Amino acid sequence: MATIGRKMATWAHRLSYDQLPDKTIHEVKRRVLDSIGTALGAYWSPPGKITRAVATSTDDASGASVWGTEHRTCPTLAAFANGAMVRYLDFNDTYLSREPAHPSDNIPAAVAVAQAAGKTGKDAILATVIGYEIQCRLCDADSLRAHGWDHVTYGALSTALLAGKLWGLNEDQLEHALGLAGVCNITTRQTRTGQISHWKACAFSNAARNGIFAAGLAHRGMTGPYEIFEGPKGLMNQLSIPDAKNVILGTEGDFMIDKTYIKFWPAEYHSQSAIDAMLQLRPQIDVTKVEEIHIGSFEAAVSIIGSEPEKWRPTSRETADHSMGYCTAVALIDGDVTRESFADERLKDPQVLGLLDKTKITEEPELNPAYPKGIPNHITVTMTGGKKVDQRVDFPRGHAENPMTDDEVIAKFCKLADGVVTDVTAEQIIDRCLHFDELTDLSKLFAFKVIQK
């Protein structure tokens, strides 16, 4: 009987570009543009500068571009640096299920290997669909978070398979790539616990680096552990994820990328509906008269962004964008949540901290059944004199049930690119992303130059 890894390998090996519907191809184009935008928005961040320095320390003329430069390095380091920039702002896309994830983290890996392998835009699109499919279907199968493990564990598997597809591995080699990636890339949830560090930006891109490395070893003939999922010491038993055996991969146009969400605000996804609700309430609220903000929420949101003490006094951007209370307070004060909302000086703003002290987040059992189809947050604001206003949002802007338009995705990109690349370069990037399937040389899109500081 075929192993789970073998079934995944067979599916990926047989999937071809002509099986992808137009809507899925278009969604990949939107995600590539969104990913470049989030990378540009994070270009001068500490993790962006550090990972680029690492990547550009190695030359590989036949390798992959370090985005924003003309430098080419090995695909593992390109995926690491570019992926860290894509993820830093917590502004790239999201999928919510038993395990939440940011599946566009797969895109820098797909682009890096496609470029190094001399593949086309169509090949990169197909690889991206494979990455989304593997990661999101595993997220549907089982929660890693519930057992203290991190979602990027699934990313080592998804990127190994997409890289193997791009390198033309056969079914045996693809199964070995999954074994090599899965056996040594199990990551803990400490990345996202307490005061959060720069590593949050790098956790998936490191998994992608290792997934590509595993596929490269399999490409050269190295075998990997068999039964990586169902073996006695495999992932299902060791990580307590028994339902991984039930993974069913996309066929006949049913692909997971179409069920994921582009973010409207640069904050952890479970807070998006709280931000949306607060912005709807804002015209009715005098900030100086707020006595209490109560956010009724669901288990995942409370656990991830609403319970730890560090979320009430964040000392880093990474912790603040994972604090629902902080994001909601800033939304009320400013009427928006932007990159500037998380500046160091803002984390110490007495007005923001004062509202945080008046904010209470509780799990409301009646909201739990609505998740993960929706992300229900119900805000009630009490003001001096006893006046109360409240708003519940389940499907914030950008959610699959309330998707952003192409024009909104382009506007988001332009805002993030402003001042990082020239207007001419931004227009070129938009045009080439929207015609990604026509590219025969990926360097024409990814070897752009940024404005030097």
DSSP-based three-state secondary structure for 290: strand
CA pair distance 216, 75, nearest whole angstrom = 10
| Assigned CATH topology for domain 4-264+421-446 | 2-methylcitrate dehydratase PrpD (1.10.4100)
Q: If you search the block for the tokens 């392998």, which residue do you land on?
A: 117
Tokens describing residue 173: 């080699």
CA angle, residues 116, 91, 358, in degrees to nearest 5: 155
CA pair distance 412, 40, nearest whole angstrom = 11
CA pair distance 109, 244, nearest whole angstrom = 23
pTM, entire model: 0.95
Nearest CA-CA partner of 4 in 201, 350, 196, 243: 243
- Find the DSSP H helices in 282-419: 299-305, 317-320, 324-334, 350-357, 406-417
Task: Please say whether the dihedral angle defined by the alpha carbons of residues 433, 174, 145 and 192, taken in this order, is positive or negative.
Answer: negative
Backbone angles phi, psi at 259, to 5 degrees: -110, 10
Nearest CA-CA partner of 87 in 208, 207, 202: 202
CA pair distance 12, 169, nearest whole angstrom = 10
CA pair distance 57, 60, nearest whole angstrom = 10
CA pair distance 291, 387, nearest whole angstrom = 10
Superfamily (CATH H level) for 269-393: 2-methylcitrate dehydratase PrpD (3.30.1330.120)
pLDDT in tens, the chain (453 residues): 799 999 999 999 999 999 999 999 999 999 999 999 999 999 999 999 999 999 999 999 999 999 999 999 999 999 999 999 999 999 999 999 999 999 999 999 999 999 999 999 999 999 999 999 999 999 999 999 999 999 999 999 999 999 999 999 999 999 999 999 999 999 999 999 999 999 999 999 999 999 999 999 999 999 999 999 999 999 999 999 999 998 988 777 899 999 999 999 999 999 999 999 999 999 999 999 999 999 999 999 999 999 999 999 999 999 999 999 999 999 999 999 999 999 999 999 999 999 999 999 999 999 999 999 999 999 999 999 999 999 999 999 999 999 999 999 999 999 999 999 999 999 999 999 999 999 999 999 999 999 997
Q: Measuring CA to CA, how many Å separate 26 from each of 137, 274, 435? A: 21, 29, 9
The residues spanned by each domain of the chain are 4-264+421-446, 269-393
| Residues facing residue 261 across a β-bridge | 94
